[in-house]
Amino acid sequence: MSSAKCSLIFLCLISGLLAFTSCGKSTQTNSQGDALDRIRRTGQVDVCTVVYPPWTMKDAKSGALSGYNIEVMNLIAKKMNAKVVWHESTFGNITSDLASGRCDATTSLFMLIPRAMSVAFTLPPLHYLGESAIIRKSDSRFQKVKDIYEFDKPDITLAVATGESGDVYVKEHFKRAKIKRIDVESSDLTRFCVEVSTGRADVAIADANTIHLYAKKHPEVLDLFRNNPFSLNPDGLAVRQNDVKWLHFLETALQFLDTQGSLEKLRKKYKVHCLVLKKQYKLQ
């Protein structure tokens, strides 16, 4: 075979290989990396959420979802002429569901550094949620506690929900207390707090909203940091890290809803227990 023929065959093989590689990359990018274009074409937004009142609530009979998070995403989808398809998840699995392509976005999540390694969050944060703790009102040992670290002692048992922000907090900051981790289902997110009510734990730590909801229904416990959360967590929507156009779109949409006062109306409607930055707009 002549050298010219060999060169021609070699060039053809290389061209074919490059075309195949390029096609593979393009297919991979389009399958997960261009959510906004796909939503435009299909008119469908897939969103993962965790049942977490009053942010996301589920009717026991009909299964219908409602709440602050649900209305925020529905408002955005309506402006896009799209429909939201909801996918229930858990706090432990929701970022994996997003990465796998099960959904295009999540409803609001704590913007934790480990989570930010695998997903991208909308900025600025929607709001901020603090951390709080409950004790039994009858437990005289802790009535005057002002510092959460006073609970980090070998003779104290502390209850948390596996994977919840309180669990993350104690993993990072507590060294000596006995930690009792309780797996909870979306239908009963406050079940770990029962450990305190029944005396099987001395303290329970979680985000201030969860603690607030439990304390309202259980007069035997005290929301120790109700008016002074001991830690603050920014909260935002999450998308896959390569969905840059979709991320920027959601940030613009949230800024629009915030400026129009829609987010504030929803916070009041659902009586959400959170902190927000105070904004004031002045005509120049």
Q: Is residue 19's pLDDT more than 70?
A: no
174 and 150, same structural domain? Answer: yes
113 and 48, same structural domain? Answer: yes
In a domain, 123, yes or no: yes
In a domain, 13, yes or no: no
CATH number at residue 141: 3.40.190.10
What's the confidence (pLDDT) of residue 275?
81
Q: Angle between the 262-270 and 244-259 helix axes, to the nearest 10 degrees?
A: 80
In a domain, 149, yes or no: yes
Residues 58-83, buried b or exposed e (16+ Cβ, 10 A)?
beeeeeebebbbbbbbbbbbeeeeee
Angle at 165 between CA 128 and CA 174, to 5 degrees: 120
**Cα torsion 261, 263, 265, 267: sign:** negative
Q: Please state the domain count of the chain.
A: 2
Q: Is residue 30's pLDDT more than 50?
A: no
Distances (CA, A) of 186 to 13, 57, 60, 82, 164: 54, 10, 12, 27, 12
In a domain, 157, yes or no: yes
In a domain, 77, yes or no: yes
* pLDDT classification of 282: cutoffs 50, 70, 90: confident
The token pair at 14 is 């290389």
212 and 91, same structural domain? Answer: no
According to DSSP, the residues that pair with 157 across neighbouring strands are 178
113 and 83, same structural domain? Answer: yes
**Lowest pLDDT segment from 6-15, 99-108, 250-259:** 6-15
106 and 137, same structural domain? Answer: no
SS3 of residue 251 by DSSP: helix
In a domain, 84, yes or no: yes
**Cα torsion 116, 120, 122, 124: sign:** positive
Angle at 207 between CA 206 and CA 210, to 5 degrees: 85
What's the confidence (pLDDT) of residue 114?
84
Q: Is residue 24's pLDDT more than 70?
A: no
For the chain, what is the mean pLDDT? 87
49 and 121, same structural domain? Answer: yes
How many Å apart are CA 174 and CA 180, to the nearest integer?
12
Q: Is residue 1's pLDDT more than 70?
A: no
Decide which of 205, 231, 257 is a domain's last residue.
Answer: 231
Q: Which has the higher per-residue pLDDT, 261 or 34?
A: 261
Decide which of 231, 261, 278 is a domain's last residue.
Answer: 231
52 and 135, same structural domain? Answer: no
**Cα torsion 174, 180, 182, 188: sign:** negative
174 and 87, same structural domain? Answer: no
226 and 134, same structural domain? Answer: yes
Decide which of 231, 248, 278 is a domain's last residue.
Answer: 231
Q: Is residue 196's pLDDT more than 60?
A: yes
DSSP 258: H
107 and 80, same structural domain? Answer: yes
Which structural domain, as residue segments, surrounds residue 219? 130-231
* pLDDT classification of 103: cutoffs 50, 70, 90: very high
Phi, psi for residue 90 in degrees, rounded to 5? -125, 165
What's the confidence (pLDDT) of residue 242?
94
53 and 112, same structural domain? Answer: yes
225 and 141, same structural domain? Answer: yes
| 200-237 pLDDT per residue, tens | 999 999 989 889 889 999 999 999 998 888 888 899 99
In a domain, 27, yes or no: no
In a domain, 25, yes or no: no
SS3 of residue 98 by DSSP: helix
